[in-house]
Structure 1
Amino acid sequence: MVKLAALVVAVALLALLDPAATVVEFAKEDLESDDSLWKLYELWGARHKVARHPGEKLRRFAIFKEQARRVYDLHIEFAGDTPLGLNSFADLSDDEVRRDYRCAKGGAGNGRKKRSFINVKRRTGDGTLPLPVAFDWRSKTCYGHPCLTPVKDQAYNCGACWAFAATAAMESHHAILKNGSLLRLSEQELVDCDTNNGACAGGLAANAFQYVVKWGLTSSAAYPYTARNGTCKSSATFPVLGMTGFARVPAYDEFELLQAVTYGPVVVSIDANNTEFDRYAGGLYPSVKCGRTPDHEMLLVGYGSNHYILRNSYGENWGDKGYMLLPRNFDLHDVFGPCGILLDGATYPEMA
């Protein structure tokens, strides 16, 4: 009887949720009491399919309450008309998210230079340099198929953003250049076999590209993701993708970065070491809150007149269905770019 009652409650909660939504929206009234917050927590758990042991759930609820109020305060300060939302990290502490999801080893660091105030080559909003005003690979098709594979999830306790950014870039470039066929490449092979990276402890997409140039890469079906360090089994698999090399976009050059993404998505690194990134649930990201030490690799898939479009590897329940809108900064003397996006330049694959 108890199990039946719990099932009825769960069904009722799910009925209140928009099935197309990837975050749980809420209002100021939901924060006014523990009872309303508990109801919000139950809704959030139903949406994200999070089940906690009763004792653990009380501890998690305390974290959830704090995070929901922080999201509200941030929204009031920065978000404007963007709906309030809670992503899949809402009952995790800041330390847990940073420990178990951060992944780039100090940023890309390739060709980083010490430069102070310089004129950054940048396409500003007036369109004076010859690029489209906006570009978005999410809305494009390649030979009748999507150019981007679905957003993936690097999962809890494995800092493998570098592997996911690398495979997403290779998958999309293959679709663009190879008659639109969509591959699903193996992040786990990179985690297990690429000795120039640190597996779940972090790494760089540029190193992953070097591995693929030398060895090729198999499919995720043949070498599935386990979200933990493992023993390399590449000798037992067949590579489905080859690369001739990879290219670098120079640091401090927004024009070259935007130009590159019109040909195919590129891997960038940003400073994600802040609560706002962890709790991001859509809309324009408050970039004034982030630093300038890139520590997380993502895939740049386009841009608008006032923002970059970044694909993360935290699943579709983070951000805008797995994507992030990072405001562009038009200060020509800002060498770093918002959240340090220009500091390390970018990389992208060159396909065989």
Structure 2
Amino acid sequence: MNQYLSDLKVSRKTKDENQHHTPSNFFRRLDIPKRVDWRNFSNINFVTPVKNQKKCGGCWAFSATETIESMKAIQTGLPPPRLSVQEVIDCATYNDGCSGGDPYRAVKWLKDTQSPLTTEKKYPLTDTSDSCRIIVNNSDGVIVKSGNFQRLVGREDKILLLLNTSPVSVAVDATTWNNYLGGIIQYHCETHINHAVQIVGYDISGDVPYYIVRNSWGTDYGHKGYLYIKIGENLCGIAEEVTTVTVQ
């Protein structure tokens, strides 16, 4: 078992034995751009560098924080701030630190408490669970205005529509991801949710439409920290739990 996995405590049961398949032609006929990549959207990078969670089961905090970073950049038109994953790991009480959590519950905690999410510089990443620290003079913190959870199995066109607005956080089954060496995942990926990542875009221009997925296993993984997953079959459970966020 991958050391990173079994760390996601999903907000509700997501496993579904039914097969869901949407033909690739369906996505190519949609009236949306054929490719969206928030790493280079209108010549602006709205995505921070890939991080590494190491042995901490905090993928949920990485996924949520990454999407908040992107949303702040989209709101301001400025480069994305590097926000503190560690603050979410230590302080988001709806979750269990490096023992597991859920990206939607992380967003919900930030919204409910109206706690400004501080910068990584002020609250550096240690990849361990620790006591929550209070940050003073946190005027550059980002406040979450709202968060939304959707299960979009069989409606992955809606994920593509969301991705035209912003990156999203998703829960996935990453059991086989240790074996990923590149290319587009098209087979052998189930829906036993145990990991969380960020989708930063998609490409529906070719024969195999795919999501552009940011992982939190460092830049040595996959395509410099990213991987590609076929759209339309709920591969790796990617449509089971989709979280979006807005910021103030």
TM-score clears 0.5: yes
What is the rounded CA distance, in whole Å, between the counterparts of 1:288 and 1:179 in structure 2? Answer: 38
Q: 1:222 to 1:100 in 2, by over 3 A?
A: same
Determine if contact 1:193/1:234 at 8 Å carries over to the other structure: no
**1:296 match:** 195
**1:341 match:** 238
TM-score w.r.t. the length of structure 2 is: 0.87
What secondary structure sits across from 1:319 in the alignment? Answer: coil
TM-superposed CA distance for 1:100, in Å, is 4.2
Query: Aligned match of 2:157 in 255, 274, 295?
Result: 255
TM-superposed CA distance for 1:248, in Å, is 2.7
Aligned pairs for 1:261-280 (under 5 A) are 261-274=163-176, 277-280=177-180
Larger Rg: 1
Is 1:234 matched up with 2:167?
no
What is the rounded CA distance, in whole Å, between the counterparts of 1:203 and 1:284 in structure 2? Answer: 27
- Size of the aligned set, in residue pairs, is 239
**1:176-226 deviation digits (Å, cap 9, x = unpaired):** 111214211101111111111110011111111122222121111000011
**Superposition RMSD in Å:** 2.3
Query: Aligned match of 1:164 in 62, 66, 76?
Result: 62
Match for 1:318: what amino acid?
Y
Match for 2:187: what amino acid?
V
**1:194 match:** 92
Match for 1:200: what amino acid?
C
Consecutive unaligned residues of structure 1, counting only runs of 5 or more, are 1-94
Determine if contact 1:223/1:237 at 8 Å carries over to the other structure: no
| More deviation, 301-310/317-326 | 301-310
Match for 1:137: what amino acid?
W
Is 1:104 matched up with 2:104?
no
What is the rounded CA distance, in whole Å, between the counterparts of 1:262 and 1:241 in structure 2? Answer: 22
Determine if contact 1:189/1:234 at 8 Å carries over to the other structure: no
What is the rounded CA distance, in whole Å, between the counterparts of 1:123 and 1:170 in structure 2? Answer: 32
**1:319 match:** 222
Determine if contact 1:197/1:204 at 8 Å carries over to the other structure: yes
Determine if contact 1:123/1:129 at 8 Å carries over to the other structure: no
Determine if contact 2:11/2:105 at 8 Å carries over to the other structure: no
**1:82 match:** none
What is the rounded CA distance, in whole Å, between the counterparts of 1:162 and 1:316 in structure 2? Answer: 18
More helix by share: 1
Specify which structure has the bigger relative contact order, considering alpha-carbon pairs within 8 angstroms and separated by 6 or more residues.
2
**2:109 match:** 211
Consecutive unaligned residues of structure 2, counting only runs of 5 or more, are none
Identity %: 30
